[in-house]
Amino acid sequence: MKYIVLSLLSFSLLFATEYVDGELLDNPDGPSYTDASVPVVESISNEPPRLGYTYSSPVERALSREDEGSSVWPDYDWADDIEIYAGEVGSGHDFDYDEDTGDLFAIHDTDHDGTTITDSVIVYRSQDGGESWSHFGCGTSSWGQVFNPKIRVVKDSSGDSWVVIMGIWASASGDVLWTRRFPLAGGTTFWEQVDNDASFADMDADIGSGAYVYATYVLKGTTSIRVIRNALDGSGWVDDANVYANTGISNTHPAIATGDGGLVAVAFTNSTATVPEIRIKRSTNNGASWFTSLQVNPAGGWDDLDDIDIAFNRGTSLIGWITITFDFGTGDDRFGYFSSTTAGVNWAWETLFNTGDLENHGSIRADKTYGHVTVAYNEDPGDSTMFSWATTYNPTDFTTPVRINDFNATQGWPATAGWNGYGYSAILYTNFTSNYRLMFDWWGNVGIDDASDATTPGMIQNAPNPFNATTNISFNLTQNSPVTISIYNIAGQLVTTLADNQSFNEGSNSVQWDGQNESGTRVSPGVYFCRLNADGISRTHRMLMVR
């Protein structure tokens, strides 16, 4: 096998090109498919597939919507789960969205052995809030397996957006941690090596222009936790710093998160300390320097720490959350959280999300616009993916967790919590009962607010929601009244006024919005708010326009 020595700095792919459906299939040592006669079909090897495994092209995927009638738990559904990948997910998945367009990007690895079958991390894109997905890009390997998939969408100092993917490429010389970044405007993609031998890594990125991408990782064969950053300017991954090097650390899967004003923090566990510790390392200058690590949890009652994750809101008053799985003294896993209102300086234990058995595999993610947080975790018995969320206005007032997966979720790795780009909580999970398919769901028709009932006095709603052309906005009045109905975008700017102090009768009424602004130009897809003012009552309702 041919190996090419690679620089730690970024480089463009200058190898001989080979395309399948327009996608350059390559990896850090060159194109994966060197024999143009080898078809990209179900099996990429002449050898028969291993029993129990499904191999399919990293380019061609059958995308389908699951039938709601086949759901196992219809009472808890948000909407029909969307199947992104019909093959077998290998070890994990992740997703993120573009803060400008709301486009979603999901990544997963494939369960291939990396010897007879080329292994991959694959990226899909959705431009309608998760309703449909198309292949966006990939990273493949002829060295061995690829695992630990992560993805973030981030802008560079010029305001150009990049999709950055991460994975660990297994090879004979070590498990190499790589990132590949794709310019959303099109053009050259870049491979950049983070480290030449890592066992685990996590990634996050700033929002807005001039942002950094950050990674925390564990050196393979050690318990040394490191953090590193990338300005997306061609200098690659730089300022590699040691976060913690206690040789007694176990269960070392650190998590990294960013906030506003240069805040970056790494959360990790030390389970072999006299008192098992949850610790945090902080920077307030975009990772240029770091404060001494702090212990988050109080003494006593903390065993088997695992599944740590961290998130920060967006705003001047930085609020943080750390979720953790641990043994609460009963012998079973429990899942709860800490919160901070001091940008991660001080932390308080809050509560468990639920009191059922075997709660674990937690994930938390903050919305890029407001910083509200979505939480997902596994609960047994039942292989449930549980959902909860909280706002930055009431950061410890999480909703009662509900089950949102239509199909049994795997216990092998966490569901990924996040947002669908249009302001709705979203979940990515793997269904282990049917070949480990990758499934996506979101708080589809009503958003994260409670559904409003147009038969209740003063309430307002729209249908269809989401909509792509025209939607009917319904409302109910207790008496004849002048009504003003206005449409605002997610930035709070007035888009159009559908009724300006217009008289409506008592009872049910409706108006129609054709998705145009005051000048008659059709607006871009995204989240919009309809505000009703009538008879001293003001109501606001969230709507989603899709392509």
- Examine the domain organization and report whether 473 and 389 are in the same domain: no
Q: Quick check: 181 and 189 in contact, CB under 8 A?
A: yes
Residue 75 pLDDT: 44
> CATH number of the domain that 513 lies in?
2.60.40.4070
Amino acid at site 440: F
Domain that holds residue 91: 11-442
Residue 348 sits in the same domain as residue 374: yes
pLDDT of residue 444: 54
The domain boundary residue, chosen from 409, 442, 475: 442
**422 and 283 together in one domain:** yes
Q: What is the C-alpha to C-alpha distance for residues 17 and 15, in angstroms, rounded to an integer?
A: 6
Q: Would you state the pLDDT for residue 511?
A: 94
| C-alpha distance from residue 84 to each of 89, 118, 122, 438 (Å) | 11, 20, 11, 6
Residue-level pLDDT at 25: 41
Which 3 state secondary structure label does DSSP give 331?
coil
Are both 397 and 521 inside the same structural domain? no
The pLDDT of residue 254: 93
pLDDT of residue 288: 93
β-strand partners of 426: 418, 442
Are residues 426 and 476 located together in one domain of the fold? no
Sign of CA dihedral 29, 35, 40, 46: negative
- Total domain count, the chain: 2
What is the per-residue pLDDT for 490? 66
Write the DSSP assignment of 118-135 as a string of letters: -EEEEEEEESSTTS--EE
- Give the residues of the chain that fall short of pLDDT 50: 1-27, 29-76, 445-455
Check which CATH number belongs to the domain holding 214 and give it: 2.120.10.10
Residue 451 lies in a domain: no
